[in-house]
Amino acid sequence: MNPLIELSKCIGFDWDGGNLSKNWEKHKAAYWECEQLFFNHPFTAAPDEKHSEHEARFYALGRTDIGRKLFIVFTIRNKLIRIISARDMNRKEKQKYKEYK
Protein backbone atom coordinates (compact mmCIF):
# COMPACT_ATOMS: atom_id res chain seq x y z
CA MET A 1 0.00 0.00 0.00
CA ASN A 2 1.43 3.35 -1.05
CA PRO A 3 0.97 5.86 1.78
CA LEU A 4 1.25 8.88 -0.51
CA ILE A 5 -1.68 7.66 -2.60
CA GLU A 6 -3.69 6.90 0.54
CA LEU A 7 -2.89 10.35 1.96
CA SER A 8 -4.14 12.02 -1.21
CA LYS A 9 -7.60 10.61 -0.41
CA CYS A 10 -7.67 11.99 3.15
CA ILE A 11 -9.96 14.82 4.19
CA GLY A 12 -8.57 15.69 7.63
CA PHE A 13 -7.21 14.44 10.93
CA ASP A 14 -8.65 12.24 13.67
CA TRP A 15 -7.70 13.39 17.16
CA ASP A 16 -8.94 12.28 20.56
CA GLY A 17 -7.82 13.07 24.09
CA GLY A 18 -5.41 10.14 24.17
CA ASN A 19 -3.38 10.90 21.11
CA LEU A 20 -3.61 14.68 21.58
CA SER A 21 -1.97 14.69 24.99
CA LYS A 22 0.38 11.68 24.63
CA ASN A 23 2.62 13.24 22.00
CA TRP A 24 2.80 16.52 23.88
CA GLU A 25 3.57 14.92 27.24
CA LYS A 26 6.20 12.51 25.91
CA HIS A 27 7.89 14.55 23.18
CA LYS A 28 6.50 18.12 23.31
CA ALA A 29 5.01 17.62 19.82
CA ALA A 30 1.81 19.65 19.56
CA TYR A 31 -1.02 18.39 17.35
CA TRP A 32 -0.75 21.41 15.06
CA GLU A 33 2.97 20.75 14.52
CA CYS A 34 2.17 17.16 13.58
CA GLU A 35 -0.43 18.30 11.06
CA GLN A 36 2.02 20.78 9.46
CA LEU A 37 4.30 17.92 8.53
CA PHE A 38 1.79 16.61 5.99
CA PHE A 39 1.68 19.95 4.12
CA ASN A 40 5.38 20.87 4.04
CA HIS A 41 8.03 19.66 1.65
CA PRO A 42 10.07 17.64 1.53
CA PHE A 43 7.84 14.96 2.98
CA THR A 44 8.17 11.20 2.74
CA ALA A 45 6.11 8.33 4.06
CA ALA A 46 6.45 4.56 3.96
CA PRO A 47 4.62 1.50 5.27
CA ASP A 48 5.48 0.47 8.83
CA GLU A 49 5.13 -3.25 8.19
CA LYS A 50 6.67 -4.23 11.52
CA HIS A 51 3.79 -2.60 13.43
CA SER A 52 0.91 -3.28 11.02
CA GLU A 53 -0.60 -6.35 12.66
CA HIS A 54 -4.14 -5.04 13.21
CA GLU A 55 -4.27 -2.18 10.69
CA ALA A 56 -1.97 -0.59 8.12
CA ARG A 57 0.48 1.77 9.77
CA PHE A 58 2.88 4.18 8.16
CA TYR A 59 5.73 6.38 9.23
CA ALA A 60 6.52 9.84 7.91
CA LEU A 61 9.56 12.07 7.92
CA GLY A 62 9.06 15.77 7.46
CA ARG A 63 9.32 19.23 8.96
CA THR A 64 7.08 21.75 10.65
CA ASP A 65 6.61 25.34 9.54
CA ILE A 66 9.56 26.42 11.70
CA GLY A 67 11.78 23.57 10.47
CA ARG A 68 11.45 21.09 13.34
CA LYS A 69 12.14 17.63 11.90
CA LEU A 70 9.61 15.06 13.09
CA PHE A 71 9.17 11.30 12.82
CA ILE A 72 5.47 10.39 12.89
CA VAL A 73 3.69 7.05 12.98
CA PHE A 74 0.14 7.20 11.66
CA THR A 75 -2.74 5.21 10.28
CA ILE A 76 -5.65 6.16 8.07
CA ARG A 77 -9.22 5.49 9.19
CA ASN A 78 -12.26 6.58 7.21
CA LYS A 79 -10.20 9.04 5.12
CA LEU A 80 -8.78 10.64 8.26
CA ILE A 81 -5.14 10.69 9.32
CA ARG A 82 -4.77 9.38 12.85
CA ILE A 83 -1.40 10.15 14.35
CA ILE A 84 -0.26 7.46 16.74
CA SER A 85 3.14 8.78 17.74
CA ALA A 86 5.24 11.86 17.03
CA ARG A 87 8.76 12.77 18.09
CA ASP A 88 11.89 14.52 16.87
CA MET A 89 13.87 12.58 14.28
CA ASN A 90 16.88 10.71 15.57
CA ARG A 91 20.28 10.94 13.85
CA LYS A 92 19.64 7.99 11.52
CA GLU A 93 16.23 9.37 10.48
CA LYS A 94 17.71 12.83 9.87
CA GLN A 95 20.29 11.26 7.56
CA LYS A 96 17.58 9.34 5.69
CA TYR A 97 15.51 12.53 5.38
CA LYS A 98 18.53 14.47 4.11
CA GLU A 99 19.15 11.80 1.46
CA TYR A 100 15.49 11.94 0.42
CA LYS A 101 15.64 15.71 -0.15
Q: Could you tell me which of 19, 77, 15, 10 has the C-alpha nearest to residue 38?
A: 10
Q: What is the pLDDT of residue 50?
A: 77
DSSP class of residue 50 equals G
Tens digits of per-residue pLDDT, 25-36?
999 999 999 999
**Total domain count, the chain:** 1
User: Using an 8 Å Cβ cutoff, are 23 and 40 in contact?
Assistant: no
**Per-residue pLDDT at 17:** 77
- What is the pairing mode between strands 80-88 and 12-13? parallel
In angstroms, rounded to a whole number, what is the distance separating the alpha carbons of residues 38 and 67?
A: 13
Domain enclosing residue 61, as ranges? 3-100
- For the chain, 101 residues long, give each residue's pLDDT as a single digit of tens: 788 899 999 999 999 877 888 888 999 999 999 999 999 999 999 998 776 677 899 999 999 999 999 999 999 999 999 999 999 999 999 999 998 86
* pTM score, whole prediction: 0.90
